Amino acid sequence: MTRNKVIATTLIALAAAGTVEAQDRKWTEVRIVTEGGFLPWNYTKPDGTLAGFEIELANDLCRRMQVKCTITAQSFDSLIPALNAGKFDAIIDDVAITAKREEVIAFSRPYASLCYTFATSSDSDLASKLQADDRIIPLANEAAVASALEPLKTAFKDKTLGTLSAGTSVAFVEAYLKGVAQTRQYKTPEARDLDLVSGRVDVIVGSKDALLAASAQQGKDSMKIVGPCFQGGVVGKGAGIGLRKQDADLKAMFDKAIAEALEDGTIKKLSMPIFGMDVTPQ
């Protein structure tokens, strides 16, 4: 099930069952939930402990808020229902802030910018046809999007495009590349990236930060980032912490802590060694 289908299912469930009642409380402990399998944003190490950019960030934010935090891993499709049922207080899982998701939950201010781009094997014909492009194309600018996509669509014709089966990358491909290439979906970034390097897919799509991190992990000569980066629209406003709508006080706490982490450069400091780029929202 894709993340977009999960959201639609959640909307129906919440309409039928309602959400947990708001409670007046002083926040001394916050129960955070994550997927624990979305490298390098968050992942589970062999010893069972959680690691990744968002785990480090969550610990930093909790320190700033002066609250005790527990971080638990759970499957993605259960995150929002569990949050609204009161089992957890916050989701941190590279969840893009989209209008559809804002119908279900509230979000903190963005803690990371997101834009989608492409990667291909360094020795593929696509690598010679397409170049890396540092431009960020707003999806709201239809003329700019059409112009930027034209050479990509030509190059991707009759190719195999790899994407994750969960996430906004599916919505991006459906909206802008449907029918251009054969699409193959993967449950994990690792499986997708390995198939690219081994030649089982020709090109992959994903957030630029994650693709840069994957390129570094696979070896700088294995993968090549190609094309500009597309931002906004179905890609969302950035990654935010998911919260219950009635927990406005907790949102205010996270917003303040994130603002501090942005201002003092902590998010840049945490993201550079992990992604190879600064994910600070602009």
How does pLDDT run across 77-119, given as a tens digit for each residue? 899 999 999 999 999 999 999 888 999 999 999 999 999 999 9
pLDDT band at 166 (very low <50, low <70, confident <90, very high): confident
Beta bridge pairs of residue 29: 68
Mean pLDDT over each residue of the chain, to the nearest integer: 89
pTM of the full predicted structure?
A: 0.79
- Rounded Cα distance between 236 and 74, Å, is 23
Residue 36 has pLDDT above 90, yes or no: yes
Provide the phi-psi class of 232: left if phi over 0, else alpha when psi is between -120 and 50, else beta: left
Residue 205 has pLDDT above 90, yes or no: yes
| DSSP string over 65-129 | HT-EEEEEE--GGGHHHHHHTTS-SEE-S--B--HHHHTT-EE-S-SB---EEEEEETTSHHHHH
What pLDDT is recorded for position 220? 63
Residue 17 has pLDDT above 50, yes or no: no
How does pLDDT run across 248-265, given as a tens digit for each residue? 999 999 999 999 999 999
How does pLDDT run across 227-237, given as a tens digit for each residue? 999 999 999 99
What pLDDT is recorded for position 15? 40
What pLDDT is recorded for position 12? 44
Please give the domain boundaries of the chain with CATH numbers for all domains.
Answer: 3-113+237-275 (3.40.190.10), 116-235 (3.40.190.10)
- Rounded Cα distance between 113 and 135, Å, is 14
- Rounded Cα distance between 98 and 52, Å, is 23
